[in-house]
Amino acid sequence: MATSPDLAALARDLVRIHDAVLTGATPPQQPRALVARSWSRMLDLGLDPSARNDRNPLTPAELEARRRRSRLSLVIEELRLVLASAADASRYLVVVTDADGVVLWRDGSAAVRRHADRLGFAEGATWTEGTVGTNAIGTALAEAAPVQLFSAEHFESAQHPWYCTAAPVHDPADGSLLGVVDVSGPALSLHPTVRALVTTAVRLAEAQLWRRHEERLDDLRRAAAPLLGGANGPLLVVDDHGWVAAEHGVSGRDRIEAPQAERTVAVPGLGLCVPERLHGGWLIRPSAPQQLTARLERGAGQATLVIHHGEEPWVRTLTPRHADILTLLVAVGPSGATAADLSRSLFGDGDHEVSVRAEISRMRRTLGALVATNPYRIRDGVEVSVVTSAE
């Protein structure tokens, strides 16, 4: 799409496809699968493609409160540096939303901003699929993947003069979705480099968030130095997300389950441990080192991972998606799998690597060091069996 030699002809073709599909006629060709899925969701919601659906704008005070709460405020200047410098010359807007699809920041060409104002594409507006129909921001949130839409691939007719390219941003410390970065502009000004520009900006933002995370781990490591100096057994010092700041007598652990008071965690090489609270983090020490043998129990829409140890088993409930990932990792064995491998197995294509990485980061918040990375696999010292119940 972004390399089409004739964007005007492509826009005309897409209008014919849009009008035919949404009126129940036979289109000259089918829309892209991603677009078809989104349009189907919009029709199920009863949105009117010929109307300008409500943007639900926030008050200035509500908008400012959301900005302060957003971790993207830590990297907004980096995003502006990468994306906004060429916005005037290239006639596009740079838009950053939160995880709810609310536009927190908007920069770019003054002329394009005026057109966006008339569309309701302004700071404080909600830009989800359920609010404004198929659009790159809302569809990226719905699909959990980067999205580029051109002209009449948008559901609302009022958005047909636009292109939009968006990608989700995740917190690298815990995998949580922070929001979406979007570049939008007049459809016929779409340039082939826009998708790469957005991808680069997201990667730089996540890298900057990771650097801040590493700085916090450094602070925790320095604070725990006296404790490590007097240690006489294996232990770990971790932050609230389970990331390892320091270790003694055990190695090869970058992350464990996010600790909670009086809740055991399973750590390969240490066995089952009860976390002890430190200032700014946790001390993890074993009750008795042991090989970990786990059983993934699946059935009736539920999944549970169980490690039996004494009278109290270590039990964690998994989401269906996390259970699917763990089942795949058990199946591939020690060779492991890449994000692209898992994307193809879970979604049928390799386009959801971003979503896979975020899901595994969230899963490791629950399972921690039981799952290793690069490639993704069950860590050495852990045996996992899968038991499926028909009930």
Residue 272: the pLDDT is 85
Residue 4: the pLDDT is 56
Residue 223 lies in a domain: no
Segments forming the whole domain that contains residue 246:
232-290
Regarding whether 283 and 141 lie in a shared domain, the answer is no
Residue 221 lies in a domain: no
Regarding whether 311 and 267 lie in a shared domain, the answer is no
Contacts from 29-32 at CB under 8 Å and sequence distance 24+? 31/153, 32/153
Sequence-distant (6+) residues with CB within 8 A of 204 are 78, 79, 82
Other CB atoms closer than 10 Å to residue 242's CB: what's the count? 28
Residue 220 lies in a domain: no
pLDDT tens digit sequence for 100-136: 999 999 998 889 999 999 999 999 999 999 999 999 9
Regarding whether 191 and 79 lie in a shared domain, the answer is yes
| pTM across the whole model | 0.83
Distance of alpha carbon 345 from alpha carbon 322, whole angstroms: 13
Please state the domain count of the chain.
3
Residue 292: the pLDDT is 83
Regarding whether 325 and 272 lie in a shared domain, the answer is no
Distance of alpha carbon 311 from alpha carbon 314, whole angstroms: 10
Q: What is the CATH number of the domain that holds 174?
A: 3.30.450.40
Residue 227 lies in a domain: no
Residue 387 in tokens:
């038991």
E strands, 25-161, in order: 93-98, 103-108, 147-150
Regarding whether 299 and 286 lie in a shared domain, the answer is no
- Residue ranges of the chain with pLDDT lower than 70? 1-5, 87-89, 252, 288-290, 309-311, 390-391
Residue 103 lies in a domain: yes
**Final residue of a domain: which of 241, 265, 290?**
290
